[in-house]
Structure 1
Amino acid sequence: MEKCKWKLYPLVVGEAVVGQVLDVFWSLTRDKSQVDVPIMAWLLMPLDQGEPILVDTGFRDAERCQHVHGLGPHRTKPEWSLEQQLANHGLTPKDIKTVILTHLHYDHAGGCTQFSNAKFIIQRSELKAAAAPVVSPHLDFGGGALFYDRKDIAEIVDPLWSQVELLEGDEEIAPGVQCVLFSNTHTPGSQAVYVNTEVGTAVILGDIARKVDLNINQGIPPGLFYDLEATYRAMNKIKKEANVILPSHDYELVKKYENGL
């Protein structure tokens, strides 16, 4: 039987000012400029049968990103709230029954408490790394936890624990939607989301790669990773398997797929 097909919509749930050095491993780039990037979630809408799925939930609040994590400017607007972004598609947070978290960094897992009816799909290895990150106490940015926000993780462990579903590897979440574990890439338990669409397999990357041409097509890994070779192999695998590749911080994708993929 043919797999169910889905339509994907990018949701802008915030904005950050970041350095271009994040795009290239070990900061081996001559481009030291800064750029505004979107903080994105993805809405998966079934074309056949089934319920909508949300991938990632954005950050907790802009001020916390700067003062707790020691990062540059972060911005939000009323129209960028998850509630409004879902309302644009005729949905409320209560309509979302499944949230897939590509990883647990502050800009991907900060809005979970808004989804009282949802189960949260997380790799077990990612939750372990987020709860007890290996990090020097002398690091003066990243919130002392390598960009995992302790408030986000505390909420996942309690009070949201009964809603959490931990994976240990690749698993189909719904017909045509699969989580694929890419260990020790951007984070220890980063997972990509493979989605069957009318144009083939779309892969939502989280932050396994930041730019399709630079990181995937040219094979130059992004700036933040745990294992360089694992990251390179992940990008190569995704390049072979994906018809459409969707990183999470690219305004070009927001424009291109404004009306859905």
Structure 2
Amino acid sequence: MLKTLSKIGLIVAALAVGTAWLVILRLKDVPAPLLTAYGLLLVGSVVGSLWPGVLGRLSTRRRVLVFLGVPAGLGTLGLYLAVVYYVTDLPALLALAAAACLAWAAAALLRGRRAAGGRGGRPSRRAFLLGGGGLVLGVLSVLSVSPVERQRREVLARGEQERQAAVRAPGARRRIVDGAVRVFPIHTGDTIVTYGQFYGGLNGWEGLNGYLRTLVDKAQIAVPVYAYLIDHPRHGLMLVDTGVNWEQAHDHDGYYNHNQMVSRLLTQRDEYRMTPEQDLRVQLARLGYDANDITTVFLTHVHDDHAGGLRYLPQATVVMDRRDWDHGAVYPYSFDLVKDNLLFPAFASGAFDAFPDSQDHFGDGSLILLPTPGHSPGHMCVLLRMDAGSMLFTGDTLYTLPHLATGQVRQMTIGGADTIHQMEAARRIQHLLASDPGTVPLFAHDNTRYQSDLVAAAFDQGVLGKEGLRELRAHMEAVLTPDWRLRPGHTPRYVAPASGTGLGRVEFR
């Protein structure tokens, strides 16, 4: 009975590990038919090893090993090398292979001694070859460390060369100092997401079910990642969010392997893309600014597509909700250089419009922080007052202008109380925009012409004039009714790629 229970425990543990591995492979875009066949091999290997009799003709463990175990092992190695392997793994893989060879050699040696009745004797040829192979692999593991590090340094050096070339390209500006508050949208590349994750929150993309669907549904689109530079005559240079950094887009596995391999395993290798011109440091330089002069970063939340650029801003004070720092999904490497520069607002300035709590950050009404939890535990929005009107930086409470129609368009939400909180925050944003016609929203991921055409034009010189404000509000009214419904022609729809593979696009009808 105890032996049977032990076997059941082993198979449950093996199936749990195997399932997690299959989920990782699916996240890495391994085709479902291949995963199904591979999964059956894994299950057959485990079950056959414990109960070989249930597999009929493969009624011995040796046959199970030969016909199922070996293919499953080779498949595991092949899939790992194809979709997970990164060059920094090489020393560890060689070390594991060396350890396996030496263990096998020791087992062969013990078997030989046992066969000789414990009298010792000469090592078998197998033990000798395995031991020698293990030693060679161990030496190669040590020797590979330096070339691997050199290879990664070369990758980073090439990126630096591309960045410097982009900074020197024609068309750069000089900073204008005339006492005006300026805001510059900074497009720091794109993130690749499933269409349902971005627009399917009302169609079952919620909570655990939504996250599972992101593993299966590969109808993907590219959406922009925006940070916003604020040049304030009294308060200096500030950023709302920091976007992604060059390493996330071009050395993804290396970036997410700094702390633990789990981070790398659970992220997609191609989740970000960025041209040299989109690098945050390049764009700041071409606008006439230096990243080292940024004094304050207002982080709407800690997700890594908003916090990656913190690697470039070690001198900045990072203002964020403490709930996000304590309970959000923080990737430590993005925060390593600023973790001692964090400032947590108390939200003690009283109510602001429909928001029961707020923080007047500078005490002069020029910049108000508004708690909007839901997308993350401590998500917040930022309201900036300019001469012509006010900017509301929404972070990820709402992805795009059409998402203000919360009854028709919604991104994937966490579910339960978090979804309720996020929708409450969205309604407060609606109320603020309706009550103050001098306020316009600025989004972190808007993939509509509101961002690409109108916002880009209105803030081309950083100063929002009355005409720019009027055009942005007019476009809002052309897209949304006063009761926050989408007008005809503005409902998002996924369009699959013509080839059947690659990224789709979004049309509005």
Scaled by the length of structure 2, the TM-score of the pair is: 0.43
Structure-2 change in CA distance of 1:68 and 1:58 (3 Å):
farther
Is 1:84 aligned to residue 84 of structure 2? no
Q: Is the 8 A contact 1:225 1:231 kept in 2?
A: no
CA-based RMSD of the aligned residues comes to: 2.6
Partner of 2:231: 45
Partner of 1:70: 267
Q: Which SS does the other structure have where 1:208 is aligned?
A: coil
Structure 1 gaps of 5+ residues are 131-144
Mean Cα deviation higher: 215-224 or 243-252: 215-224
Partner of 2:421: 230
Partner of 2:200: 24
Partner of 1:59: 244
Partner of 2:367: 177
Distance in 2 separating the partners of 1:16 and 1:67: 16
Structure-2 change in CA distance of 1:161 and 1:49 (3 Å):
same
Whichever of the two has the greater Rg, that structure is: 2
In terms of fraction of residues, the more helix-rich structure is: 2
Q: Is the 8 A contact 1:10 1:254 kept in 2?
A: no
Structure-2 change in CA distance of 1:69 and 1:87 (3 Å):
farther
Q: Is the 8 A contact 2:191 2:272 kept in 1?
A: yes
Counterpart code for 2:201: F
Structure number with the bigger relative contact order (C-alpha 8 A, sep ≥ 6) is: 1
Q: Is the 8 A contact 2:230 2:238 kept in 1?
A: yes
Aligned length: 234
Distance in 2 separating the partners of 1:124 and 1:96: 22
Is 1:203 aligned to residue 357 of structure 2? no
Identical counterparts, % of pairs:
24
Is 1:161 aligned to residue 349 of structure 2? no
After superposition, what is the alpha-carbon deviation per residue over 1:207-230, rounded to whole angstroms, capped at 9, x for unaligned? Answer: 1111222x2134444213452221
In terms of fraction of residues, the more strand-rich structure is: 1
Distance in 2 separating the partners of 1:105 and 1:195: 22
Q: Is the 8 A contact 1:123 1:189 kept in 2?
A: yes
Q: Is the 8 A contact 1:9 1:257 kept in 2?
A: no
Distance in 2 separating the partners of 1:204 and 1:225: 21
Is 1:12 aligned to residue 12 of structure 2? no
Distance in 1 separating the partners of 2:286 and 2:343: 28
| Superposition deviation, residue 69 in structure 1 | 4.0
Structure-2 change in CA distance of 1:68 and 1:91 (3 Å):
farther
Is 1:193 aligned to residue 390 of structure 2? no
Structure 2 gaps of 5+ residues are 1-178, 206-216, 257-262, 348-357, 434-438, 465-509
* 1:130-149 mapped onto 2 (5 Å cutoff): 130=328, 148-149=330-331
Is 1:119 aligned to residue 301 of structure 2? no
| Superposition deviation, residue 27 in structure 1 | 4.2
Distance in 1 separating the partners of 2:229 and 2:187: 11
